[in-house]
Structure 1
């Protein structure tokens, strides 16, 4: 390889390194804009309601218990019986818990940013099987039970959109603010007319809950048997939490999902026991499932993924220029390499700015078209031929089309990318298979 060719390759490599400076600056701008967007979304959620987690209903029975203990008088040595009162609570999970939810989503904008809020219309029903004397067998007479209540934990009570009424064995009871139980956090409660009885009791309950939130809707399967059915007009659900749906159907019009669990799968009764006895509620509070209504791949994530191919794009374009030099005996100045490289970098800035105001597909098409036409017009003059320029432009347009396919094929992106690079390398090897690299001499006729 002669000296001039080595110098040219070195200059091209240096240009590629220098072009990474604007590429990295644009990448930083993507992170900055994404951070600003996230702050706006948080602000919108702060003004309306955050993600929602529904825990309950849980039946709580406060009690006072008389405790008797023999003690000895230090002065007289006589024994006496001392009575004291101990307070506590009994907790019951429903034997059956059913939730049917119909969710609709809508956008709320602030400036150029939009947050997706959801409104869920839920029907919650089921029943409790209470044992005789609330399960207290020994020394029942020492217990004095206070009014029981039904507690429902709702992570952000600002999202409640209706006047809650509990239907209990045919009676209607109004809910009150607050769960009355710190382990459930925020929520509502309803006082129950039930009393300790010599016979087991069955409490049938139902209520309607209209709930607004942002981002996610989670449900804790509190029942011995829990059945949850959700349907929504959101076509891109992301199912989250400890349990995936037993069945689901996703279409362009929305989705439906069905969950069914039991205590054997959730072990929630033991988790509640640990929460009460050891004050360790992490397992009880963490065993939920639900759906996320956040766009799984937004314009910033797609732009960031496109940036990962910037170096490959610049290297392939410069390789195309270099092939024209050695195959067609044309001289392309390093400044011309640099201008084309800057045009390629400008594509990512155009893509970022346009995607904030329109769909990503349209923004990508406009940005790619602008850059392809600009580079095609310039290259036609650099290569002294509209035919060569048209061929170069067609190749560049094909690269942008392949990049768009890579961005939309998450599962096959690595496979498609590796096949693309292999095909391009094979093309270069085929085109230069008869080229005498030692015989390449400096080109004296400049290309523009």
Structure 2
């Protein structure tokens, strides 16, 4: 009988021991990861829905702008022989026919100036995708085409059927009349058959190159207004290509084969300015081609206009700290329980954990109707207030609940700062966790873990 009572006492003592409580709290922390994963799935689902809306908006407004041109196109004849057999006599005669091909010549000088202004007026439901309008001007000159490098006899050239060709994307997003001035003569671009690439082809009506050329070159200039989104990129087909981009977009990403000039590049809260200067010796393609224009996408360069961290990325990053928030909050309650000898039931831990999970559902739902900063403030304040008030009833005093409220406020503030940072997020996060570990070690140093 005494042995049975001793066994029951030992069992009761074990379940009341610090070790058993640590195991239960640790298990509960792992269980709460399940609803946290559901919250992360919800964030991804909402983000996917936003991407679908973005695709819809960009299809209507305009996608990436890729510009390849202008190029001087001059047709020429090649000849081939073919046999004709007389049906009556069986005699075979040789006939000759002309086939028209095209020679393409890139400009000697190509200069572009682009002014990009963001447009925040497009909105679908609760989703607002930022797009832009680009005003682009092009100037430059073509030198005399050298057909001898292409092995084409001069007598085969159709000088009177020359044209200027441009390859670009998003014809439907061009919002200006597209005309080009060639040595003070004006021509209009018209759509041509596509070459089955992502580019569309525009070409002027035909002109006589020999009548239009002045001295040894043809000067050109034209302007285009685009509706676009995401990026603007160019191909440096000029012997000397210069590009200058001004924008009120504050978060550019300079991409492509060629870097913008460090001496003139500026990026600040008001926007950015970037310049490129590329010479023909900086790339490995020629200035003239026959038959078709080459694919030069490997030489694209320009700027991507990005939102560094949108609201769903911020929500996703916040949710990744969920395990840390739950673990540290439970640790604070556990240390208070161990120091003050106040018993906290596992059910009460569960209620506190669910309140912490509710922070993320509040955050994403409020963010979709306001800014992330405002949503974070509202959700954080609500959850901290709820847990603080609940702690007063659980701990039967106000000293520890006020400490818990202050600690949670500091933790949520710390996480918000990390989310907003880009370059120093890892550094600040590591230092913060190191400090937190030091604080926990300090307050737990005198706890008797043997009980």
TM-score (norm. length: structure 1): 0.88
| Partners of 2:103 and 2:291 within 8 A in 1 | no
Q: SS state of the match for residue 129, structure 2?
A: strand
| Partners of 2:183 and 2:214 within 8 A in 1 | no
| Equivalence for 2:131 | 117
Shift of 1:27: 0.2
Structure 2 residue 423 is matched with structure 1 residue 408: no
Structure 2 residue 22 is matched with structure 1 residue 6: no
| Equivalence for 1:353 | 365
The aligned runs of 1:9-408 (5 Å cut-off) are 9-67=22-80, 83-107=96-120, 108-131=122-145, 139-145=153-159, 147-178=161-192, 185-195=199-209, 201-247=216-262, 248-269=265-286, 281=295, 284-408=296-420
Deviates further, 135-144 or 152-161: 135-144
Shift of 1:79: 11
Cα distance change on mapping 1:134 and 1:160 into 2, 3 Å: farther
How large is the Cα RMSD of the aligned pairs?
2.9
Q: 2:440 aligns with which of 403, 428, 432?
A: 428
| Equivalence for 2:5 | none
| Partners of 2:101 and 2:291 within 8 A in 1 | no
| Partners of 1:179 and 1:185 within 8 A in 2 | no
| Partners of 1:230 and 1:258 within 8 A in 2 | yes
Cα distance change on mapping 1:183 and 1:380 into 2, 3 Å: closer
TM-score (norm. length: structure 2): 0.88
| Equivalence for 1:437 | 449
| Partners of 2:178 and 2:224 within 8 A in 1 | yes
Deviations 1:126-167 (A, max 9, x none): 011123567566643344456111111121001111111111
| Partners of 1:236 and 1:296 within 8 A in 2 | yes
Structure 1 segments unaligned to the other structure (5+ residues): 441-448
Q: SS state of the match for residue 381, structure 2?
A: helix
| Partners of 1:132 and 1:199 within 8 A in 2 | no
Shift of 1:5: 2.1
Shift of 1:69: 9.3
Q: SS state of the match for residue 18, structure 2?
A: helix
| Partners of 1:54 and 1:218 within 8 A in 2 | yes
Paired with 1:433 and 1:202, the residues of 2 have a C-alpha distance of 84
* Count of residue correspondences: 432
| Equivalence for 2:7 | none
